[in-house]
A and B are shown apart, each in its own frame.
Chain A
Amino acid sequence: MIFDVGYLILVTALLLAVFGVIAGFWGGRQRHPSLVDSSFHAVYAVAALVLLAASILWYGLLTDKFQVNYVWNHSEKALPTFYKFSALWGGQAGSLLFWTLILSVYSVIVATMFRRKQLGQMPFVNAVLLITSGFFLTLLVFAENPFKQSGFLPPDGQGLNPLLQNYWMVIHPVMLYTGYVGLAVPFAFAMGALFSKNLGNQWVRTVRRWTLIPWVFLGAGILMGSQWAYMELGWGGYWAWDPVENASFLPWLTATAFLHSIIIQERRGILKVWNVALIACTYFLVILGTFTTRSGIIESVHSFARSSVGIYFLVFLSISIITFLWLLFDRLPLLRSENEIDSVSSRESAFLVNNWLFTGLAFSTLWGTFFPMFSEILTGRRISVNAPWFNKVNGPLFLLLLLMMGVGPLLGWRRTSAEVMRKQFTWPVLGAVLFAGIFAYFSPRLYPTIGLSVCVLVIGTIIQEFVRGVIARRAVTNENPVAALFSLTRRNGQRYGGYIVHLAIVMIGVAVIGNTFYQSTTNVNLRKDQSVSLAGYTLTFTGLESEHTSNRTEFSAHVAVFGPKGQSLGTVSPGRNIYDKTPDQPTSEVGLRMSPGDDIYVVLNGWQDDGSSATFTIFINPLTVWMWIGGIVLVLGTLICIWPNPARKEERMPAQAGALADTAA
């Protein structure tokens, strides 16, 4: 009964979303206060109903109501409560409901924060957000009903996919969805600006923070997914250019380009058309990504025909793109730029190159992801486009992007004279050249040498920017260097937070280079107390033990690790979990010892029944830990960017040290 009510709640939410869309557009167009208010109320009501529906499904999962097909398919009695809770996003219908829930939460926050602000465009913003919610509610009502029942009560469920029974898999989808779905908000503001014809810089100022928030969630979600792949899949890597990974990475790329290009619009009043188009592309990539992962079209064009949601996505995406393009062309006269770019050697040009590279990367990633599908349709033959292709095509672009991260911030707005360029670039370039020489001498490999040297260049420019900023600030305030650094960062959060984000990207770049070019590996069968040496480390297999938990048996091998001088570095315990319901799908638990220099990464492949010997794959992954440290720094840097600037609230007496640094340069 309660699940029938759940379905009715979804139907009601859909009807209310449709009402809210009509109220938003009509009220916004006619400037009818009651209708505008209704659009706000519809946002709140839809969110409340979606939360109620999700709660009913959670209730079904937590109380083992296996008569509900979704619960039967994705849970079991013995599943730990933690995973019963996360099973909400473990399957198709549940994850679509979760998508709608997160969007509803975003919509409520936006509606609450802007209840008395920007009323010219808010009805349209509400309407656009409700259109997206309405689309997902349509899927839930007509194609993927999470409350569908079988008519009888099975004794137990099928269980959750073993690969999803991992704590990273509980938090990673939440982070990813929060980022992914949140990118609908800046798109809604862009559409609101187009509909209401308020196309100045106001919407750009508003969406900067509303883009940064989902952007950092998406970035953190992607990195957590990489961490999961690193810890669970046991192949020594973290990113495989898998279509599902690419689906999350694509909007991140275009959103990053957008975050850079809106800075130019704010500063110079140019690129208005480009910015609207870029955030729209980001939104379309979000919908496309959800479509590709939910329809199965990438795995095979045939699975698209079998998919219950594929056609809905295709129709929605097509209508959205056509509507956007119509609106964009209609509003082109209102999107005229206020200035021109003065010089090639300017920060505007650097931002343009940055945008060119980001969109180029997004295109090549999109193309590589979909090429197997095109190939299958046009030639009838399946081919695979995996890491080798992506590394060859995207690798050089990432390197150029890294280089631009070093060059761009040193260029001034409008134009940079040769004199200033010399002053700005001398020390970072010298540092990079010196590093290249020393590194190439000790490790004669071209690509890592170039890659790491560029990283050094970027770090040099960041340090130089901070040093100049601190000196400039001290000249004005006479603070001690630490206080000057703190207040500089605090008062120029957008700029210096951005540098910290750049530093995070460099850390991730260093980890990629280390893992890609300097990984060592071996595959061995070890008897108890037998050792193997790899990259200076010695690993000794000391025993195997097993333990049965609620729904699985956990096998753990113990491997003692010794350093180059024979010193003990502790024990790693790679394991395998064999699930009661799916014994043919064991999962791997990597044994890992992380350090700033390298990771000792051990995978248990198999063992003799008495545990007297076991087979291992061992990897030594240099510098990989910097990827996760970079992730934390990325979040910190973004928080600094988002944090409200105290200087705006106070009088502007203390000269902006960042501006001084610019002048000094």
Chain B
Amino acid sequence: MQLKISHWLFLCLLVAIFLVPAQVRLVHAQTTQQTPVPQQTPVTEDQINVIARELWCPLCSGVRLDACELKACDQMRQEIGLKLAAGDDLEAIKTYFVAQYGPQVLGEPPRAGFNWLAWILPFVVLLAGALFLVMRGRKLLFVKPGPTALPTVGPTVASNQDEPYVRRLEEELKRYD
């Protein structure tokens, strides 16, 4: 089956029709999720863990706050409960913990100062790699054969003095001819 350009356009339109409402619903869902937690008493463990999953243990390496079993992290979760009960939202709680324990609790470098480098460099390198491939890759990686032809047999053989070794080597090379 062959498709003409008009068919492809139709398919793209079809995708857009399906995806746009999906995206609208997604944005709506996210907006709903980001609504500040209403004041309620008591705050449930699940509400605490929703916030704790966005934070990281300041003492362990790479352990999420909701999964950390240290006493210090237990106290941090209790603090989250108190903050939620007081009506604080995720961002306010994050700001509070960063002030208390430093940016380590975020699990990612803050987008400020030197730490911008963490975010930018991978994409700069990728872009540089892409440019390299497009602009100069053909020259640097795919050089045409030069005027000097490749030696068909390694130079080691030419000056060989040792007959048994040469025989074995030549046999070996023949096997690959």
Contact = CB atoms under 8 A, between A and B. Distances in A.
Interface of A: 28-29, 31-33, 36, 116-120, 196-198, 200, 202, 233-236, 240-243, 270-271, 273-274, 298-299, 333-334, 336-341, 352, 356, 359-360, 363-364, 367-368, 371, 375, 378-379, 381-389, 392-393, 397, 422-423, 426-427, 429-430, 433, 436-437, 440-441, 444-446, 449, 521-524
B108 A389 contact: yes
A423 B45 CA distance: 55
Nearest to A197: B154
A202 to B, nearest CB: 5
Contacts of B172: 116-120
B87 interface: no
Given A117-B172, A299-B61, A444 B122 contact: no
A603 B144 CA distance: 62
B61 A334 contact: no
Contact of A341 (B21, B102, B142): B142
A119 to B, nearest CB: 5
Nearest to A615: B45
B14 A36 contact: no
A123 to B, nearest CB: 10
B9 interface: no
B104 A383 contact: yes
A289 to B, nearest CB: 16
Contact of B156 (A31, A363, A388, A389): A31
21 contacts: A33-B162, A36-B165, A120-B154, A120-B157, A120-B172, A235-B63, A243-B61, A336-B150, A337-B144, A356-B129, A364-B126, A367-B121, A368-B118, A384-B61, A384-B107, A426-B2, A429-B11, A430-B11, A436-B18, A446-B19, A523-B49
B22 A449 contact: yes
B92 interface: no
B62 A242 contact: yes
B150 A437 contact: no
B136 interface: no
B160 interface: yes
B62 A384 contact: yes
In the complex, the 8 A-B pairs of residues with the closest C-beta atoms, listed nearest first:
A235-B67, A364-B122, A440-B22, A444-B25, A523-B45, A444-B22, A437-B18, A386-B107
Contacts of B123: 393
A202 B117 CA distance: 42
A38 to B, nearest CB: 13
Contact of B108 (A36, A382, A388): A388
Contacts of B121: 367
What is the predominant secondary structure among interface residues of chain B facing chain A? helix
Contacts of A273: 141
Contacts of A364: 122, 125-126
Interface residues of B, number: 75
Interface of B: 1-3, 11, 14-15, 17-19, 21-23, 25-26, 29, 45-46, 49, 56, 61-64, 66-67, 102-110, 113-115, 117-119, 121-123, 125-126, 129-130, 133, 137-138, 141-146, 148, 150-151, 154-157, 160-162, 164-166, 168-169, 172-173, 175-176
Nearest to A365: B122
Given A242-B61, A445-B26, A33 B118 contact: no
Contacts of A436: 15, 18-19
Nearest to B159: A31
B154 A198 contact: yes
Contacts of B115: 375, 383
Contact of A197 (B148, B155, B165): B155
Nearest to B1: A426
A242 B107 CA distance: 11
